[in-house]
């Protein structure tokens, strides 16, 4: 009896909640288009207009729903609009919380059309169906000249979302993250003594906006640097060097024979740190020497890498590496600290992230001028460590 009464009571509560909820959703849906917030300085504006919303979306939005309430009423189609169809990215949705998504090759049926920021040259942009979301993505530094094709007024107010390494992108696309791990047992004395050389650098781009080539040239008067690949005199693997996998012969050589590796980025850009840094984690027994625009302190503890920024000139860094190379205690302390980290690749969740966003159709915004947003002051800058001796 008591049980039945409480059952009736909870049923009533459920019905009342449902009615209120539906009413609020309905009111929200009826609300006129409003609040188009403009940002004149090259950022995005938030859209509250419901012009391209279908009913089910409006209700989902209105309830300001927790993830689980977003309905997966149909399969969302995503297309990477690449001039070379064979090179188009294929996102994966298996094992995602929201998995009702599929890739398509037909831009007219795509819910999300993805554009690669370095592939915009001579692009014939397809007619945009109502409600289609445009996403611009890149992991390249914006000093890449190919991005200039984005500097067109026809792209103003077109891109809803961005996916880059800039922390204020709609979605983040980063090369890796470091996570703490238990340090493995290693014979560090033996590691130190087997190393024959000081510094290695694997590099394919010989002339860069960070002028790392000038930096290394000056540095190498104080510490020996072996340059692998087309820009130098050393080679291993098929392309002169290879940093592709943890088991390849170049990384092995690096780990066996060298004390330091130059993880020098080709551009100084905010938040920009590439595989050049992450590939020596875990268990490649070298200390990375970094030079780039990211705040490396946010990625890892100090004493797991050396930052060129902390040295007034390339000569000073060269001298320091030479010193540290000879100081077994200090060198191994650093290497052991580095061994407390492993890397992960969070960008492998791109499919899951976009699928969920496709279903929730949020965030709702549009970039007034995505090119200005990408290239705004402070995103990338020229080197400032080459003027002193
Ligand atoms: C420009 O952007 C900054 C943030 O990036 C913001 O604080 C400022 O209000 C914006 N100015 C205008 C005029 O929109
Ligand atoms: C972008 O386009 C505008 C207008 O055509 C031009 O004035 C400006 O110099 C261009 N910016 C770059 C970086 O090419
Ligand atoms: C490669 O070797 C040549 C000849 O010994 C030398 O002049 C040049 O500086 C070396 N290049 C690099 C990048 O070390
Ligand atoms: C090695 O480095 C440590 C820590 O900086 C320092 O105390 C020590 O004197 C150095 N040893 C030599 C031989 O330079
Ligand atoms: C995407 O941008 C278009 C064009 O500005 C706009 O009409 C549409 O409402 C935006 N959609 C979302 C989900 O922000």
> Which residue among 142, 144, 151 is best mutated to probe the pocket of ligand 2, counting the most ligand atoms within 8 A of its Cβ?
151
Give the tens place of pLDDT for each residue, 294-326: 999 888 887 899 999 999 999 999 999 999 999
Please tell me the pTM assigned to this model: 0.77
Q: From residue 348, how far is each of 94, 162, 345, 385 by CA, in Å?
A: 12, 17, 6, 35
What pLDDT does residue 301 have?
Answer: 80
Q: Whose CA is nearest to atom 14 of ligand 4?
A: 327
pLDDT for residue 111 is more than 80: yes
Tens-place pLDDT, residues 271-280: 899 989 999 9
39 lines ligand 1 (CB under 6 A): yes
More confident of the two residues 126 and 29: 126
Per 3-state DSSP, what percentage of the chain is helix, strand, and coil (rounded to 5)?
Answer: 35, 15, 50
Q: Are 62 and 362 in contact (CB under 8 A)?
A: no
pLDDT digits (tens, 9 = 90+) for 71-108: 677 899 999 998 888 888 889 998 888 899 999 999 99
Tokens representing 335?
A: 């290497």
* Residue 338 or 9, more confident: 338
Nearest CA to ligand 1 atom 13: 40
pLDDT band at 119 (very low <50, low <70, confident <90, very high): very high
Q: Does residue 147 have a pLDDT over 90? A: yes
Residue 133: exposed, middle, or buried by beta-carbon count in 10 A (0-12, 13-18, 19+)? buried
> Is 62's pLDDT higher than 80?
no
Place of tokens 């103003």: 156
Tens of pLDDT, residue by residue over 204-248, are: 899 999 999 999 999 999 999 999 988 999 988 766 666 654 457
Q: What is the number of the ligand closest to the CA of 374?
A: 2
Residue with CA nearest ligand 4 atom 11: 327
- Strand, helix or coil at 355? helix
The alpha carbon of 160 and the centre of ligand 1 are apart by a number of angstroms equal to 18
Segment 327-343 shows an average pLDDT of 96
Quickly state the pLDDT bin for 389 (edges 50, 70, 90).
low
13 has a pLDDT exceeding 70? no
CB 358 near ligand 5, within 6 Å: no
pLDDT at 41: 36
- The response to whether residue 160 sits with its C-beta less than 6 Å from ligand 5 reads yes
pLDDT above 70 as % of the chain = 78
Q: Is 387 in the pocket of ligand 1 (CB under 6 A)?
A: no
Secondary structure (DSSP) of 203-241: -S--S-TT-HHHHHHHHTTTS-EEEESTTSSB--STTS-
Ligand 4 atom closest to Cα of residue 323: 14
User: Which ligand 2 atom minimizes the distance to the CA of 375?
Assistant: 13
Using the predicted structure, report yes or no on whether residue 1 has a pLDDT greater than 70.
no
Nearest CA, atom 2, ligand 4: 330
d(CA 266, CA 292): 8
- pLDDT above 90 for 63: no
- Mean pLDDT for the stretch of residues 115-119: 94
Nearest CA to ligand 2 atom 11: 151
Could you please report the per-residue DSSP string of 124-147?
-PPP--TT-EEEEE--S-TT-GGG
Mean pLDDT of 342-361: 85
Residue nearest atom 10 of ligand 4, based on CA coordinates = 327
> If pLDDT is split at 50, 70 and 90, which confidence band does 36 have?
very low
Nearest CA to ligand 3 atom 3: 233
- The conformation of residue 84, written as its DSSP 8-state character, comes to S
Average pLDDT (120-142) is 92
Interval 353-369: pLDDT, tens = 999 999 988 888 899 89
* Residue from 38, 39, 372 whose mutation best tests the ligand 1 pocket (most atoms within 8 A of CB): 39
Q: Which ligand is nearest to the CA of 329?
A: 4
Report which protein residue has its CA nearest ligand 5's atom 13.
364
Q: Which of 167, 228, 210 is nearest to 309 (CA)?
A: 210
Q: Report the chain's mean pLDDT, rounded to a whole number.
A: 82
Q: What percent of the chain has pLDDT over 90?
A: 56
C-alpha dist (Å) from residue 47 to 35, 87, 180, 261, 312: 7, 32, 40, 47, 47
- What's residue 17's pLDDT? 46
Whole-number pLDDT of residue 175: 86
φ, ψ dihedrals at 352, nearest 5°: -65, -45
For residue 315, the CA-to-ligand 3 centroid distance in Å is: 18
C-alpha–C-alpha distance, residues 137 and 19, integer Å: 42
Residue 54 in this model has a pLDDT that exceeds 60: no
pLDDT at 250: 87
- Using a 10 angstrom Cβ sphere, with 0-12 exposed, 13-18 middle and 19 or more buried, the burial of residue 301 is middle
What gap in Å lies between CA 353 and CA 366, rounded to an integer? 18
Answer yes or no: is the C-beta of 377 below 6 A from any ligand 1 atom.
Answer: no
Residue 149 Cα to ligand 2 midpoint, Å, equals 10
pLDDT at position 253, please?
92
Q: Whose CA is nearest to atom 5 of ligand 1?
A: 43
Asked if pLDDT for residue 50 goes beyond 50, the answer is no
40 lines ligand 1 (CB under 6 A): yes
R_g over Cα of the chain: 26
Supply the pLDDT for residue 190: 97
Q: Which long-range contacts (CB under 8 A, 24 or more apart) does 23-32 make?
A: 24/62, 24/63, 25/58, 25/59, 25/62, 25/63, 27/62, 28/58, 28/59, 28/61, 28/62, 29/55, 29/58, 29/59, 29/62
| Between residues 45 and 10, the one the model is more confident about | 10
Is 148's C-beta closer than 6 angstroms to any atom of ligand 2? yes
- Write down the pLDDT at residue 4: 63
CB distance 227 to ligand 3 below 6 Å: yes
Looking up tokens 């950022």 gives 43
């Amino acid at each position: 009896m008591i049980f039945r009464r409480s059952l009736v009571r909870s049923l009533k509560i459920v019905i009342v909640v449902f009615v209120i909820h539906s009413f609020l959703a309905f009111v929200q849906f009826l609300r006129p288009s409003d609040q188009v917030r403009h940002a004149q300085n090259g950022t995005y504006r938030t859209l509250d207009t419901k012009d391209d919303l279908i009913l089910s979306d409006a209700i989902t939005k209105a309830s300001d729903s927790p993830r689980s309430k977003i309905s997966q009423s149909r399969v969302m189609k995503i297309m990477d609009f690449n001039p070379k169809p064979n090179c188009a990215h294929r996102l994966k949705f298996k094992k995602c919380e929201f998995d009702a998504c599929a890739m398509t090759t037909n831009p007219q049926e795509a819910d999300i059309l993805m554009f690669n920021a370095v592939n915009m040259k001579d692009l014939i942009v397809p007619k945009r169906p109502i409600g289609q979301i445009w996403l611009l993505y890149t992991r390249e530094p914006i000093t890449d000249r190919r991005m200039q094709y984005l500097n067109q007024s026809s792209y103003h107010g077109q891109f809803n979302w961005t996916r880059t390494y800039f922390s204020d992108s709609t979605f983040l696309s980063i090369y890796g993250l470091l996570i703490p791990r238990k340090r493995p047992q290693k014979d560090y004395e033996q590691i130190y003594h087997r190393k024959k050389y000081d510094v290695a650098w694997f590099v394919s781009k010989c002339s860069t906006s960070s002028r790392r080539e000038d930096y290394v040239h000056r540095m190498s008067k104080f510490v020996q640097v072996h340059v692998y690949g087309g820009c130098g005199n050393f080679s291993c693997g098929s392309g002169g060097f290879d940093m592709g996998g943890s088991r390849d012969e170049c990384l092995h050589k690096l780990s066996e024979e060298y004390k330091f590796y130059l993880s020098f980025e080709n551009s100084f850009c905010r938040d920009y740190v590439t595989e050049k840094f992450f590939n020596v984690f875990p268990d490649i027994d070298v200390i990375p020497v970094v030079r780039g625009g990211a705040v490396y302190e946010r990625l890892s503890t100090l004493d797991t890498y050396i930052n060129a920024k902390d040295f007034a000139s390339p000569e000073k860094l060269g001298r320091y590496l030479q010193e540290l190379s000879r100081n077994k205690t200090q060198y191994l302390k650093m290497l052991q600290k580095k061994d407390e980290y492993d890397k992960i690749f969070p960008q492998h969740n791109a499919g899951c992230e976009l699928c969920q966003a496709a279903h929730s159709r949020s965030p709702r915004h549009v970039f007034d001028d995505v090119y200005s947003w990408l290239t705004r002051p402070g995103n990338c800058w020229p080197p400032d460590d080459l003027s002193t001796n």
